[in-house]
Structure 1
Amino acid sequence: MYEVKIATSEQEREAAFTVRKKVFVEEQGVPLSMEIDEHDQTSSHFVVYDGPKAIAAGRIRSISSEVGKVERVCVLKEYRGQHLGVLIMNALEEHAKTTGIHKILLNAQSYAIPFYEKLGYGVTSPEFMDADIPHRAMEKQIDLSL
């Protein structure tokens, strides 16, 4: 049984960083200096666990009182295809609602655009490069009344 938790301890934050390093740094070749950034201190981090093992992560940060940005969503390679991305995105969106955020922005790696479109996100930019990986900006309006 998988469990999504918001990181409330340094140990849980480190678990999120470990997953991110495996996916983005080791697997995709993103420099560590770009992966761990100044926004990590002010973001809310989420971790998906399979028992004691951290297997997926993501973060959300406030851009303004009503706009948030989802970043660093990732799932360990051996756990992909099990809808963990949906699980973590739902947790990030629920957190956004509780903090009054009604619009979420994100920069999706281009191959992941269909995944985010299925969750209701729309593309808002032409393709651009980030860490030598093609991306497109996306956004979604969040209904706070639900």
Structure 2
Amino acid sequence: MFEAKIVDTKEELDFAFEIRKKVFVEEQGVPVHLELDEHDASAVHFILKDGEKVIGASRLRELEHRIGKVERVCVLREYRGKRLGILIMQAVENYATKHGWKKLKLNAQSYAIPFYEKLNFKVTSPEFLDANIPHRAMEKLI
């Protein structure tokens, strides 16, 4: 059974970091010092599980009062295309709503824009490079 949840142990956080390294560092070539950064210490982290196996991760941080930034959304390659990313995004949005946040922002890799548009995010910027990967800023009122 698939479940998205807030990270609440060091072991879960370590699993989240491992998933992020596999997806962003190993697959996409993002330097590890850019992937694991100073924001990890203050962000709320989420994992996606298939039973006991961690298969996805993301983080959320408050940019300014009641505005959050969703970052590092990823799912292991063998689980992609099964609409599981929606579960982790729902967990993120539920957390933000519960805490009274009014808007979520994110920088989507350009190929992933249709995924976020299905979740009612709107593109708010022209394309730009982040870690040498094309992105566009998006946001959603909640």
Band the TM-score falls in, shorter-chain normalisation:
over 0.9
Shift of 1:108: 0.1
1:100 aligned onto 2:131: no
Partner of 2:31: 31
Separation in structure 2 between the aligned mates of residue 11 and residue 35 of structure 1, nearest angstrom: 19
- Aligned CA RMSD, in angstroms, stands at 0.6
1:60 aligned onto 2:78: no
Shift of 1:64: 1.6
Separation in structure 2 between the aligned mates of residue 102 and residue 11 of structure 1, nearest angstrom: 31
TM value normalised by structure 2: 0.98
**Is contact 1:106–1:138 with CA below 8 Å preserved after alignment?**
yes
Shift of 1:28: 0.3
Identity fraction in percent: 61
Shift of 1:90: 0.6
Separation in structure 2 between the aligned mates of residue 14 and residue 44 of structure 1, nearest angstrom: 13
**Is contact 1:128–1:134 with CA below 8 Å preserved after alignment?**
yes
What are the within-5 Å matches in structure 2 for residues 1-146 of structure 1? 1-142=1-142
Letter in 1 for 2:36: I
Letter in 2 for 1:100: G
Shift of 1:31: 0.3
Separation in structure 1 between the aligned mates of residue 87 and residue 30 of structure 2, nearest angstrom: 24
Deviations for 1:2-44, whole angstroms, at most 9, x for unmatched residues?
Answer: 1112101111111110100000000000000000001101111
**Is contact 1:65–1:100 with CA below 8 Å preserved after alignment?**
no
TM value normalised by structure 1: 0.95
Gap regions ≥5 residues in structure 1: none
The runs of 4+ residues in structure 1 deviating greater than 2 Å are: none
